[in-house]
A and B are shown apart, each in its own frame.
Chain A
């Protein structure tokens, strides 16, 4: 596809909005010699008449790539894709350059000048389009059982739904009979014995169904593979590992209910926590007389207390239904919403169950047989009499089982809950949901909601199966790992936020990674991290970005600079500036990427090597705004490495700057651009002498060095922060280590560059590099030992080195 591309360029006048500001005829002239075979200028390519003209051109000229110089790709590309797909053009074969919002609407300059900038941006687009690689979309097979891990009750609801639709599943559970499941349910859902009848039916159906296998829950040793082909390794009691395979994974993780510690209250058998009460009920012992349930955990938040109140209510119902002489009362804090329906309240009245709110500001006091509380309605202290006092407790954290799964699945703790990646995308950027996460570990909720979650998860799995059967289970983003280049270091697996790079079995050594394209979000930080540059995000490769950068920079004026904007905060604010009628200097040439984290560090070095004066990057505010989790933070590290290298080369660090902007901050974007231009104008242009060029070459080579990329990759977090809000212990030393590595590799690159010209002795090298000999000698000795440089002869007692094996 590369060299045979026939590309059509369509420039939009936008009814004069673009053509009155940019001399489009001149753009056409300036694009002579670029890789296009057809160019047309239309008043409105996006309206029906214009679209028809384009379609005619495509068919007449046999075009297989199209570049439209118009307005926002985010907003308008879909229209073009819809219209042009019937002609055989796929989305990635269509490129849109935003002449309107990136050039015409935001700059005050004569049309011929803006034509030059427009041509530069279009040339960049053409260079990128030229390097498209043909690939087949990955279509997945999907047969095999669903694996239900975690032991939560929602798993059984999922299994039942799957079985009813003819799909097999394997549930891993501690309890291996319906009765055992029910007996243990109060550990996660106290008060649920009320539903034993219905639940028992559900469980019996599940256990009896031949399509459901219930296996004993063992510790998870590993989960590898991807959608359609998962393999879970379970450690058996004798230490061996059994592997179970399945097509999909459903996690059912519940929270353990933490019983309140009531020993401090005293009262021996008369004071219980909810777990003890439930256990007594299982054994058939009922407390008699007045039973008061006191919901008492304000520090755990409203949801937890509502859960506890509901549990107390259910146990009350259970008590009165079996023992009409028992008189329960639920004492709950007035600041929670009572989680009962109107029907529940009627039942409460019918059975004489008391529901009493207390003002939480005044802590109730326990006495023998009495519990005093302040009523919120009259602010007086009242008393409840009790024969048995039950203090419920609250739902605790996710069960310990969660830790095993968190290690292998892209699930993260957030505010005490476990959540899937919070990445938010356009619906057509994402494939179907393929990781199913159910249970109260994701958020405190009631039993029937959790069962619904299980059912929904099952429906999701069935949807995948259906799509696969129709051959429609395809991943929209394809990330490719070159097995020949991959050394199996696993950095990509570690930093991928969405599970797109599959795990490998522990102890399997450095095996090449596989990608789970169905989970991949296209963030691209994996490719930018890989020490051996083995990963490609197809149709959005580093090579394409490189070509684009080169094409644009080669057409820049002396004071122009590059602006990388992320497709979320940066691009939106940049385009909002146009919508709002703001203007900013035309020196900045915008290149948008889906995330700043996808920018390979060698792109930055390439830009400077090609002579750009400065670079600005605008992305979302770290960390929670970044749509790819930590992409913008990763970018920070790569920018920082580049700054260090610039400094080593004697160039100014401030040529390169990162900025942060949200989706609706056009004024901030403009300020950023103006400020960076201001900085750059005070700097001389990038020197073009031989020495500097050699240094820039060396910087670029350094960014490609596996060792540098490896060290960068392992430090991809803001200076030693554990969880990203700012603790910075060891910041200074860590930074110095990074600098040392960069310095060494940079010097090695410079040595190689010098030796490429001709063999040199150490003193000659020192002269060429303007470095003292003693700085170079240790490095040269190491390189010689490794055979990367060889001795060609001797001169005045010094070896003359030449390039050996690189």
Chain B
């Protein structure tokens, strides 16, 4: 229920030429409408960790590592910066207590979910997380199910050879009918974008033989 006054105030903050002014960690920044907080922050030199983000494909906000705290109209919320468009007048905090807490939880869960990934171990360590209280069910699993491989095969290559199969806890990277893909062209794009190193051992399972 936006009042006339609130609308006017909002209009003041957004310039007519699509410029959006807000702040990150107290620093005033300028962005264009349509940019995401992550893009703007990175451009300005703020460090936000990501796993499921890659500039070659559309972001989906699944790993939740890029979360930032957004203060707006006296309220605070935690949102995935890779899929949150910039908004005028907000205060974004990239390393607040809330954000750091969320990141640590995420990393702890990831250590349990992808125990075999060197990259995740290193990322966790860099954030001060070296152990996990969650049960490690599959010690040899490194796959994050971030979908970068399937998205790259779809959006960058266009072959759509691999896909996410099953749902929930059974979700996995696979090819139709859980067989080797017939249309995979063995270009290696999925290998390149995988952030955890899981594609190395998944590749022989799904690619064309």
Contact = CB atoms under 8 A, between A and B. Distances in A.
Given A44-B43, A428-B158, A78 B56 contact: yes
Given A48-B39, A575-B188, A579-B191, 11 more contacts: A43-B42, A43-B45, A44-B39, A47-B55, A72-B192, A424-B184, A426-B159, A426-B187, A572-B191, A580-B200, A664-B203
29 contacts: A43-B45, A46-B55, A46-B56, A47-B42, A47-B43, A48-B35, A48-B36, A49-B32, A49-B39, A49-B40, A75-B56, A75-B189, A75-B192, A79-B55, A424-B184, A424-B185, A424-B208, A425-B185, A427-B158, A572-B192, A575-B188, A576-B192, A580-B197, A580-B200, A625-B186, A627-B186, A663-B207, A664-B188, A664-B200
B187 A44 contact: no
A786 interface: no
B11 interface: no
B191 A79 contact: no
Interface in A24-56: 43-44, 46-50, 52
Interface in B14-60: 31-32, 34-36, 39-40, 42-43, 45, 47, 55-56
A43 B208 CA distance: 37
Nearest to B45: A43
B200 A50 contact: no
B34 A15 contact: no
B157 A427 contact: yes
A345 interface: no
A15 B55 CA distance: 13
Interface string A48-69: 1110100000000000000000
Contacts of B34: 48
A76 B56 CA distance: 5
B43 A572 contact: no
B204 interface: yes
A572 B55 contact: no
A346 interface: no
A516 B206 CA distance: 34
A230 interface: no
Given A48-B34, A79-B56, A664 B204 contact: yes
A384 to B, nearest CB: 37
A223 to B, nearest CB: 28
A74 interface: yes
Contacts of A564: none
B49 to A, nearest CB: 11
B55 A44 contact: yes
Nearest to A50: B43
A386 interface: no
B83 interface: no
A43 B185 CA distance: 33
Contacts of A46: 55-56
Given A75-B56, A428-B158, A664 B191 contact: yes
Nearest to B201: A664
A49 B191 contact: no
Interface residues of B, number: 35
Contacts of A52: 32
B32 A572 contact: no
A234 B64 CA distance: 67
A293 interface: no
Interface of B: 31-32, 34-36, 39-40, 42-43, 45, 47, 55-56, 118, 152, 156-159, 184-189, 191-194, 197, 200, 203-204, 207-208
State which size class the interface on A falls in. 20 to 34
Contacts of A75: 56, 152, 156, 189, 192-193
A581 B186 CA distance: 22
Interface of A: 15, 43-44, 46-50, 52, 72, 74-76, 78-79, 424-428, 568, 571-573, 575-576, 579-581, 625, 627, 663-664
Contacts of A48: 32, 34-36, 39
A568 B188 contact: yes
Contacts of A568: 186-188
B187 A78 contact: no
Contacts of B193: 75
By CB atoms of chain B within 10 A, which of A47, A75, A568 has the most?
A75
B126 to A, nearest CB: 14
A426 B185 contact: yes
Contacts of B118: 581
B43 A43 contact: yes
A427 B188 contact: no
Contacts of A78: 56, 156
Nearest to B197: A580
B157 A44 contact: no
B48 to A, nearest CB: 10
A164 to B, nearest CB: 29
Contacts of B32: 48-49, 52
Nearest to B152: A75
Contacts of A572: 187-188, 191-192
Contacts of A664: 188, 191, 200, 203-204
A74 B189 contact: yes
Contacts of A74: 187-189, 192
B152 to A, nearest CB: 7
Which of A48, A425, A572 has its CB near the most chain B CB atoms (within 10 A)?
A48
Which 5 pairs of residues, A with B, have the shortest CB-CB distance?
A572-B188, A424-B185, A49-B43, A427-B158, A46-B55
Nearest to A579: B192
Contacts of A424: 184-186, 208
A667 B191 CA distance: 14
Contacts of A44: 39, 42-43, 55
A569 to B, nearest CB: 8
Contacts of B47: 15
A339 to B, nearest CB: 19
